[in-house]
A = this chain, B = another copy of it.
Amino acid sequence: MDEKIWKELLLKNDSKIVFLIMDGLGGLPRESGGKTELETARTPNLNKFAAEGICGVLDPIYPGFTPGSGPAHLALFGYDPVENNIGRGVLSALGVDFELTGRDVAARLNFCTLDAQGRVADRRAGRIATDLNEKLCEKIRNSVQLPPEVEFFIQTVSEHRAVLVLRGEGLGGLINDTDSQKTGVPPLEPHGADEASQKTAKYVAEFLKQVRELLKDEHPANFVLARGFAKYEPMTTMEERYGLRSIAIAQYPMYRGLARLVGMTVPPVPPTYDDMWKQLKENYDSYDFFFVHFKKTDSYGEDGNFEAKVEVIETVDVWAAQLRKLNPDVLVVTGDHSTPAVLKSHSWHPVPALLWSKNARADQVSQFGERSCSQGYLGRMPMKNVLLVAMANALRFQKFGA
């Protein structure tokens, strides 16, 4: 649905919309005919919301497509995840709470090992410890000097991973990876695909030249490989788009960064689930839209730890019971994508979703699970639609046409 169409239909009111997102929620059974993680978990509170609301299964991108976290969250926020695909470098910068500006180009860096002939011997430098990474970044920060018209920032992510940001006027992000994904060959030179990117590639080349000289006696990390160059393009905010003053209650940098990308307020990291509840309650009167993000369902899915993922879901179920006290106008509970423990990775399977609202037309689904949700009123729909349906249930749209 084209933004232009709903823009004219927007209404403002005092309604509250809560999105409770369990990252990688969707799962698979361990054996044919068995239950998924969500179906295994004891979720009386979510089941009650499901029974009173409507359920469905959501395709984050398109049937059959496995999303990364970036596009999946943009779909949750109602943005077209294909039109608004974000470069990897930008996502990584968001992931370390880096405040990007419209003058920035970001890339992922890997510390790597070059052999005596300058060929890549290990693309991850043996996955060096994070504190060594921090020391090397500090060294680079203190020694590398670029021309005065361009600034650079380098920041540790974890292990061998770091982020590079170049800031200046007229930079471009259409630059190839210097990581050829192969060992036994030298790193590639950076080249730009248009004028702005060619200029930027020269700064990158200069940066790499100095880093190489600087780290030549380090071991095992004596160089860096860069990939995922991307220019940061500011997006329209949730408030501009939907009139929703929005806030993110999230512990992990990437999701905080994605929320910031669409203009949400992002208060300090809440260390525990109790803190997340407090943050939600304290800010409840000042916002319209609440993005509450639980990460561990995805982490355990990636680890292949079925039981631990089940336990996280059960913990979130208890947490969710408190939402009754806030009495939101609309509650959506879903994931950004599926991360079945049996696959140990994100997957293309549609994501179970429930939408609870006194204005929803409750369907017959009384359990929050993949199979049951597929029987609900929401049907199988693109994930980007769910925010529009939530807005409708919050009575934030007037009718289309007469």
**A residues bordering B, Cβ < 8 Å?**
1-2, 5-6, 9, 26-29, 32-33, 36, 52, 57, 61-72, 81-82, 85-86, 88, 91-92, 228, 340, 343, 345-350, 358-359, 361-364, 370-371, 374-381, 385, 388-393, 397-402
Contact = CB atoms under 8 A, between A and B. Distances in A.
Chain B CB within 10 A, most for which of A28, A65, A346, A389: A65
A389 B28 contact: no
Contacts of A363: 371, 374
A65 B388 contact: yes
A46 to B, nearest CB: 17
B57 A379 contact: yes
A62 B397 CA distance: 12
A402 B92 CA distance: 9
Contacts of A70: 401-402
- For this chain, the copies found in one complex come to 2
7 contacts: A1-B62, A61-B400, A63-B392, A66-B400, A228-B402, A374-B375, A380-B380
Contacts of A52: 32-33
Contacts of A371: 363-364, 377
Contact of A36 (B6, B71, B361): B361
A253 to B, nearest CB: 14
B401 A71 contact: yes
Given A63-B388, A364-B371, 20 more contacts: A1-B61, A9-B65, A32-B52, A33-B362, A62-B385, A62-B388, A68-B402, A69-B402, A70-B402, A85-B400, A86-B401, A92-B402, A348-B397, A350-B377, A374-B376, A374-B377, A374-B379, A377-B380, A379-B380, A380-B380
Contacts of A374: 363, 375-377, 379
A88 B361 contact: no
Given A29-B362, A85-B401, A362-B32, A348 B389 contact: yes
Contact of A370 (B33, B62, B358, B361): B361
A6 B397 CA distance: 33
A133 B310 CA distance: 68
A307 to B, nearest CB: 19
A364 B35 CA distance: 11
A66 B399 CA distance: 5
A399 B62 contact: no
Contact of A391 (B64, B364, B376, B389): B64
